[in-house]
Amino acid sequence: MSTQAKQQQQSLSGFTPYVETKGEEYMGKPMRQHFTKILQKWKQDLMQEVDRTVDHMKDEAANFPDPADRASQEEEFALELRARDRERKLIKKIDKTLQLIEDEEYGWCESCGVEIGIRRLEARPTADLCVDCKTLAEIKEKQVGK
């Protein structure tokens, strides 16, 4: 990957992809530090979004005399609150993942025990299944859902 492509990827995603050294141990200290940094930044961004939502709802809260205006505002707030609820759950998952890193149990599939892989974890830092097990879980979910 060219230097320009690496810089573009860093600016788009907020981190530099991890570059393994030859013979490096999977999920050794440098890798764990890399993922800790990614997860902490992600959590910080989510927390800032929560703060922005609270400020927005305080600033925008108005008692509109028109029922249609009031309903529109309530619907907007309901959508924001649902989004924040999903983010709250994600923050819990990030905290759980950070604990796994601290316990040196991060990076292995919960189902089969194989390495999840650095690129998959960079794409989805809270992943707890390898691609194969996740694919099987999704297939089973579709079959049960029918």
Q: In this structure, are 66 and 37 located in the same domain? A: yes
In the chain, how many domains are there?
2
Rounded to whole angstroms, the Cα distance separating 84 from 89 reads 9
pLDDT along the chain (146 residues), means of 10: 40 75 94 96 91 75 74 84 90 97 97 96 96 95 81
For residues 80 and 128, membership in a common domain is answered with no
- Asked if 107 contacts 27 with a C-beta cutoff of 8 angstroms, the reply is yes
The rounded distance, in Å, linking the Cα atoms of 122 and 19 is 12
Q: Are residues 31 and 84 both part of a single domain?
A: yes
Asked whether residue 126 falls in the same domain as residue 57, the answer is no
| Residue 85: both structure tokens together | 């609820």
Q: Is residue 19 part of a domain?
A: no
Put simply, whether the predicted model's pTM sits higher than 0.85 gets the answer no
Burial zone of 120 (CB within 10 Å; 0-12 exposed, 13-18 middle, 19+ buried):
middle
- What's the CATH code of the domain at 85? 1.20.120.910
- State whether 51 and 113 are in the same domain: no
Task: Check whether residue 99 and residue 111 sit in a common domain.
Answer: no
State the pLDDT at residue 146.
58
Which residue ranges make up the annotated binding site for Zn(2+)? 109, 112, 130, 133
Instruction: Report the alpha-carbon distance of residue 6 to residue 16 in Å, rounded.
Output: 7
Quote the distance between the C-alpha of residue 79 and its chain's center: 20
Clarify whether residues 62 and 119 are in a common domain: no
Q: Is residue 6 part of a domain?
A: no
pLDDT on residue 78? 87
Q: At 34, phi and psi to the nearest 5?
A: -60, -50
User: Do residues 83 and 119 share a domain?
Assistant: no
User: Would you tell me how many other CB atoms lie within 10 Å of the CB of residue 35?
Assistant: 23
Binding residues are 109, 112, 130, 133
Structural domain for 126, as ranges:
107-146
d(CA 15, CA 91): 19
Residues 35 and 101 in one domain: yes
Q: Are residues 62 and 89 in the same domain?
A: yes
